[in-house]
Every structure is written in structure tokens, then in C-alpha cells.
Amino acid sequence: MPDGGLPWADDAEEAKPSAAELEAAGQNALFGDPVPVPDEPKPAKAGEASTTAPKSPTTAPSAVQGAVNPPETDPATPYRVLARKYRPQTFSELIGQEPMVRTLANAIRRDRLAHAFLMTGVRGVGKTSTARLIAKALNCIGPDGQGGPTIDPCGVCEPCLAIAEGRHIDVIEMDAASHTGVDDVREIIEAVRYSAVSARYKIYIIDEVHMLSRNAFNALLKTLEEPPAHVKFLFATTEVDKLPVTVLSRTQRFDLRRIPAQLLQSHFGWVCEQEGVEAETEALAMIAGAAEGSVRDGLSILDQAIAHADMEGGEGATAVTAKIVRGMLGLADKSAQRRLLGHILEGDAKALLAAIGEQYALGVEPLALMRTLMDLVHRVTVAQVGGGQADAPSAEESSALTDFAQRLTPGQLHRLWQLLLKGHDEVRIAPDPLASAQMALLRVLHAADMPDPGSLVKRMEELARSAPAPSQSDSTASQGSAPESNLADRWLSLIEVVERGGHHHAASIMRLQVRPIAMSDGELSYSRDKRYRDEVAAVLRDALIQATGKRWTLDEQQAGGLPSLVEQDEERSRSAEAAMREDPLVKAAFAAFPDAEFVEEEERAPRGGHTNWSKSA
């Protein structure tokens, strides 16, 4: 022991802990000591690290390795759903997002990494997985510990394993849905000042970032615009329109696309191979269609289908069939869909109701039935537009779609789609979905017998061309002679003078009853229909004197004179209707619809606000 020194002083100077040991000590203090595992021989070469390193339970096998036998699991290990078990661990396993991967690869290769990334898209397309992959790519050090940022992280170094297991001290994940306030953002602002403990970058992954409050966004703006060089922000959201423009302008945005159904089907087939499960192609196609472009949704449905298949087939006979998936999702059999559409086109209402009842008894929901019929009409329309043989999983279905496409016209298909869409909305809000679906499909069936608007117009034009020319009626009787026309104009002017004077009752009598014979200065000779027996001369004389300011002499005759204004209007209406009925297009319309009739528009009051006349005057 040296003089004046402590017995443990030399040992303290010689044994300084490494950065990895410091991180492991911190993790053990937070999460407890890891479960001891048997010692494994240390790999002699860096290239052998991937074969001797312990497997992470979250690491999914690569697609290029082909099918493998399902790994034996420890009975004490809890089951992990497929969506978590096959979460992509490398960018090569991230399906359907090639443009984003190419952009990130070029940015890493050229050392042009942004300080903030925003991943947006629908649920289950890989937003959070992409954020974790970016964190691994930026912090990977390679199997030999000397690597730099790479688009292909090794997956075996300590940062890659820690990030994959969610225990890296420098990769902080925060759920914005439960950390929405300014205080949560203030913790981030204060922590970014400190360098990373053991990684190359300190990375903040904020999921569902649109849930942050407005004040939280404002508090983050300055740090987001000019963060320290060792800090990267990775945001993920499904509702990018809720983010402020000030945040969008400070990030590099990636819009993750929906995964195509064919790619999903291929991916689900690979997962089934890894799990040692047999699956029919049609079953995988139905699962991919129900996933609506989401890998997570599809894997959840596949997980449920595998469990359902186990119960159906028993131990050792796991097979996912189309029948199982159809019953699990409540979908109608495709052959039943085609039969339903056939009954509609044939106009067989009794068979249609029987088919609807059969599908309902099998567990198919009425709303799902309407949706499958809409999908069938859409596929027939696409097949008609594309021409040739329809694209379908089976030859039978392809032949049926092609037959429908050849039988139906584009107008009929579009009308079927509109009627089914309206029926779908009615079934969705109806108190009795089954009754609503039956009525909606019966309406579609009966509408199929109605003529198409385009063909109806063509038929009317053909009838119009073949119809004889309308006869020309003698117009001299309606127009009258020049003196009569002059008398009619002066009589109408006199009525307007009386009306402007406020004598509306007298003006109504003049319009309805009076047939003028002759009219001069202060003298009026007229007649009336025999049905009018009341005395009106005094009323007319007083109104004329007050309206014109001169005395009038009235002489009522038994017959003669021009028709009253009301009679003239009625005659014009009858003449117009007769001329309209003689029009070739109208004749064609009545020939197509024999029970049709003219409907006159209701009479409206004049703009002055008062009624013109009354038949009871």
C-alpha cells in the first residue's frame, strides 16, 4: 500500500467503466437486472456476429430467406401477436414504401440528414416502425463497433438491439395523446441541451403528434427550428392536416402510402409460411381486401383467422380457408353475390328475397351485403372499361365478370351503382337493416325495367322524325281584325287606369265579366255572360268617374263584343296546350308513357302584391 494512500485507490484508477457498462448499469437501475442466460462463445470474426448473436424476440425473419419452420417458443413466454412479431426490423422488410426508403438512403449516403422528419399516413402503414428504423440507421455502429449511419443497420450491435427492444436511453418515445401539454414539451426542451449518453444522436420519437395542444406546438417551435446537432426529431401522425403550418415547414415530410392489396396478399402468404400455416389464395385475398391498405389491420385479421382455423381443424391441421375468413368477416360468398346480381337483372323478385334471407341466415350483415354488391358492380365496370378477360382469383369468377360486362351497358352499370349507393346509406341508418336492404334491392330490381334516359331520348327523336308535320291552324280568328285589336288595347288600358286608382273590385269585374262592344270618350257598350245576373253598372260607373275624372254612360247589351280578359287567357291556354300536344316530341313522350298528363304550374300573384281578379266577383 503506498504511503498516505488508500488501499483501493490504485484499483479505482485502473478499472474505469466503459460507456456500454455505464448504460447497462443505468438500464438495470431503471428496469431491473436482466434474466441470466448461458454464456455463448464470442465470435472470432465480425462477419460471424449475426449468426452468434442472441435473437431478439422482435426481430422478424427476412423475406429473402424464404419459408422456415416456425421457431419453438418457450411455454413460459407470452404469445406475441403477428403485428408485433413481424414488425419490420430493417428497411428491406418495410413493404410498399420504396420512395421514402430511397430518399433516406440518398440522404444518409450524402450526409444530408434533416433534423426533423414527419411520417404521415393511414393506420398500420409503418409510421412508428419507420421512425424506429431511422433511429437504428442513425445510431448503428456495426458489428465491429466502427460503423457510421447506414440505411442497412446491422441489427446486432448494442444500439440496434437496444432500440429494437425499446430500452435505449438516447431514443425517447413519447405518446402525444397522453402528453399534450406545455410541461411535457418543456421537459424535451430542457433535455435536448445535453449530449447523448452512448449513441451518436439523441432521438425523440413523438407518436400522434397532432394531439399536442396549440401552446405545446408553439413552445416546441424554436427548438424544432434550431435544435442542437446531436438531436433528431421524428414525428408520426395520421391527421397531418391538424398540424400547424409552422411545424410542417420545419420538418421533412414523408407520406406513407396505403399498401396495395396484391402486395399485402403476398406478405400475408410469407407470414403464413413462417408460422407453418397453410392458407388458401382466396382467403388471403379477402384478408388483404378487408385490411384496406393497412399491414397491421391485415395481420390482426390473419391472426384471428389462424386461431379460428385451429378451432375448426384441430391440432396439427391448421389451414386458413376462404370459408373460414368469409364467416369470420361476415362476407357474402362470391357465387352468392353473382346470383343476387343475376336475380336483379332478371327481375325475379321472389328469388331475390329468398337469396337475401339465405345470406342473412348464414350471418352476412345487410350492410355488408350491399357493400359486396357495390364491389361486384365496380369490378364489372372496371372489366368493361379494360376490355378482354376480367382479372379475378379464379377462372369461374373471371368468366362471370366478363359475362356481366358484356351483357350490361355503361349506363346500366352506373345506374346500378347509384341505386346501390343510395341503398347502402339507407341500410346504414335504418332501424331494421334487413328490411331496408330488401326494399333497396327490390327498388333496384324494378328500376332495371325502366328505360334508360339516353335510350328514351333516342326513341323520342325517332318518333318525332317519323311523325307527320303539325297542321297550321287559322290564326285570324284568334287575332281578330284591326279595329278589334285596337278596342282590346284601349279596354286593357282603361282597366289598368281603374286598377291604379285603387278600385280593385271594379277592375276584377271588368277583367272577368265585361265583354266590350264599343268604347268612346265617356261611353261604354258591353255585354256579359248569362250566368252573371248581378247589377254592376253602378259599381263600374263610380269607379270610372273617380279614376278618369269624367262622367261615363254605360250601356249593357244582351250579346256581342270581345271576349273578356279571363276568357281570352283561357282560350290562349287551351290553344297552347293543343299546339303542345301536336308537337312530335310530346307525342313521342305520350307514346312511351301513356298515363302521363300535363301538370299546370300554380297561378302566382302579380308582383304588385294584389290579386288580379276573382271568379266569384
Rounded to the nearest 10 degrees, the angle between the axes of helix 295-313 and helix 261-275 is 50
Q: Which runs of E-coded beta strand occur in 455-531? A: 515-520, 523-527
DSSP-assigned beta bridge partners for residue 233: 116, 204
**pLDDT at residue number 217:** 92
Residue 10: phi, psi to the nearest 5? -65, -40
Q: CA separation (Å) from 5 to 8, 9, 480?
A: 9, 7, 140
Query: How confident is the model at residue 515, as a pLDDT?
Result: 83
pLDDT at residue 334 in the model = 75
Backbone angles phi, psi at 19, to 5 degrees: -65, -40
The Cβ of residue 95 has, within 10 Å, a number of other Cβ atoms equal to 18
Q: Which residue has the cell 428491406?
A: 92
- Name the nearest CA neighbour of 334 among 412, 407, 395, 254: 395
Is residue 11 very low, low, confident or very high in pLDDT (cuts 50, 70, 90)? very low
∠ CA 203-206-208, rounded to 5°: 160
Domains in the chain (CATH in brackets) are 82-255 (3.40.50.300), 261-329 (1.10.8.60), 331-450 (1.20.272.10), 485-567 (3.30.300)
Smallest CA-to-CA distance from 409 within 440, 377, 441 is with: 377
Cell digits of residue 426? 339507407
Question: 587 in the Ramachandran plot: left (φ > 0), alpha (ψ -120 to 50) or beta?
Answer: alpha
CA distances for 500 relative to 506, 511, 608, angstroms:
11, 14, 11
pLDDT in tens, 88-143: 988 888 888 899 999 999 998 888 889 999 999 988 898 999 999 999 999 999 88
Q: Output the CA–CA distances (angstroms, integers) from residue 286 to 122, 187, 309, 495, 587, in the order listed.
A: 20, 46, 15, 79, 53
Determine how β-strand 278-279 pairs with β-strand 319-320: parallel
C-alpha cell at 586: 310530346
Percentage of the chain modeled with pLDDT above 70: 76
- For the ranges 346-355, 385-394, 476-485, which has the lowest average pLDDT? 476-485
User: Looking at residue 338, what is its pLDDT?
Assistant: 85
The 3-class SS string of 249-301 reads CCCEEEECCCCCHHHHHHHHHHHHHHHCCEECHHHHHHHHHHHCCCHHHHHHH
Are β-strands 116-120 and 252-255 bridged in parallel, bridged antiparallel, or unpaired?
parallel
The average pLDDT across 590-603 equals 71
Residue 203 has pLDDT above 90, yes or no: yes
**Which residue in 544, 507, 504 sits closest to 524, CA to CA?**
544
What is the CA angle 65-70-76, rounded to 5?
A: 135
pLDDT of 615 strictly over 60: no
> According to DSSP H, which parts of 294-365 are helical?
295-313, 322-329, 334-346, 349-361
Cα end-to-end distance, the chain, whole Å: 136
pLDDT band at 25 (very low <50, low <70, confident <90, very high): low
Give the 3-state DSSP-derived string for 17-80, with helices as H, strands as E and coil as C: CCHHHHHHHHHHHHHCCCCCCCCCCCCCCHHHHHHHCCCCCCCCCCHHHCCCCCCCCCCCCCCC
Chain-centre distance for alpha carbon 395: 31
pLDDT band for position 551 (50/70/90)?
Answer: confident
Q: Which pLDDT score is estimated for 56?
A: 36
When pLDDT is cut at 50, 70 and 90, the band that residue 4 belongs to is very low
In degrees rounded to 5, what are phi and psi of residue 446? Answer: -70, -30
* Residue in 242, 326, 243 with CA at minimum distance from that of residue 284: 326
Whole-model pTM: value is 0.56
* pLDDT-based confidence at residue 310 (cuts at 50, 70, 90): low
> Which residues are 255's β-sheet partners?
120
Q: What is the mean pLDDT of the chain?
A: 78
Distance in angstroms (rounded) separating the CA atoms of residues 405 and 409 = 8
Specify the range with the lowest mean pLDDT, choosing from 177-181, 230-234, 283-287, 579-583.
579-583
Mean pLDDT (whole number) for 221-229: 90
Q: How far apart are CA 544 and CA 498, in angstroms?
A: 7
Decide which of 462 and 477 is more confident: 462
Q: 186: helix, coil or strand?
A: helix
